[in-house]
Amino acid sequence: MVTKIEPATMAPAETSPVQTQKLHPLPLRIMHWTNAVVIVIMIGSGWRIYNDEPLFGFLFFSERFSLGGDPIRSLQLHGNAGYAGAEQWHFFGMWILVLNGLAYLTYCTLTGRFKRMLWPIRPGEILATLREAFNFHLRHEDLTVYNAVQRLLYAGIIIVVFIEVLAGLAIWKPVQFSNLAILFYSFQGARYVHFFGMVAIVLFLIVHVALALLVPKSLIAMFTGGPHIKKSTPSVTALARLVAQAGE
């Protein structure tokens, strides 16, 4: 008698649920709005400091839009039109900007956000996106994907802020940071770089705010966190593994 052996059936493998997260997690939103406030402080106080020793004789910034206190009151107390107060605001904002910026760079690098949102940046895609914008065909329906111009602007402004910090240090302590001043040719060169970096940041803010108003859901997402996306694997795990292997 031959016994027929039925093929064994394998039970379906259990699949773990896909982990999701907000497009803009809470730590990112806190750092974003902190940067927003600090940048306004830095620009407003920087304009008052600029007025004390302008680079261009035809350009002065209104005291209404600058930080440093009441000019008349400040003149009575400190002998200047609020420049001392403006420097205090500027240094206050500088330290927050540096610390918050380092936290932002670390967070976005370890979580893979930079790679996911800002990479790659291809010239062909940038030109195509610009043509769409000029023809009023630019769409931004998917908040989870940045177009080529957005990637270029966001990556570029990070570089600009980094250069601004270096130039600011060279202006603040030209003797102690004389090597930094050499990077900008001279102390005056650092002042010019710092000024035009400020111009670049102001232009970026104008474009950034305009786009946020044109696509209101992108602004709302920076308050609420936006849609859920697949949670990316933190790079910190791989980093910890490499450190452990190096110690063996």
Q: DSSP letter string over 74-85?
A: HHHHHSSSSHHH
Nearest-angstrom CA–CA distance, 238 and 117: 20
Closest-CA residue to 99 (of 44, 38, 45)? 38
Nearest-angstrom CA–CA distance, 145 and 5: 54
Q: Give domain status of residue 247, yes or no.
A: no
* Total of domains in the chain: 1
Helix (H, G, I), strand (E, B) or coil at 21: strand
Domain range for 211 is 21-241
Return the residue matching tokens 């893979």.
112
Q: Give domain status of residue 14, yes or no.
A: no
Per-residue pLDDT of the chain (248 residues; tens, 9 = 90+): 455 555 555 555 555 566 777 778 888 999 999 999 999 999 999 998 888 888 898 888 888 877 776 766 766 566 666 777 888 889 999 999 999 999 999 998 898 888 888 888 888 888 887 787 777 666 666 777 777 778 888 899 999 999 999 999 998 888 888 888 888 888 899 999 999 999 999 999 998 888 788 778 888 888 888 777 777 655 545 445 544 554 55
Q: Give domain status of residue 3, yes or no.
A: no
Q: Give domain status of residue 246, yes or no.
A: no
CB atoms within 10 A of CB 62: 8
Q: Give domain status of residue 237, yes or no.
A: yes
Q: Give domain status of residue 10, yes or no.
A: no
Amino acid at residue number 246: A
Closest-CA residue to 68 (of 84, 57, 56)? 84
Helix locations, 119-186, DSSP H: 123-134, 148-172, 178-183
Q: Give domain status of residue 226, yes or no.
A: yes
Nearest-angstrom CA–CA distance, 185 and 128: 37
189-192-198-203 Cα dihedral, nearest 10 degrees: -120
Tell me the pTM: 0.77
Q: Give domain status of residue 4, yes or no.
A: no
CATH number, domain of 45, equals 1.20.950.20
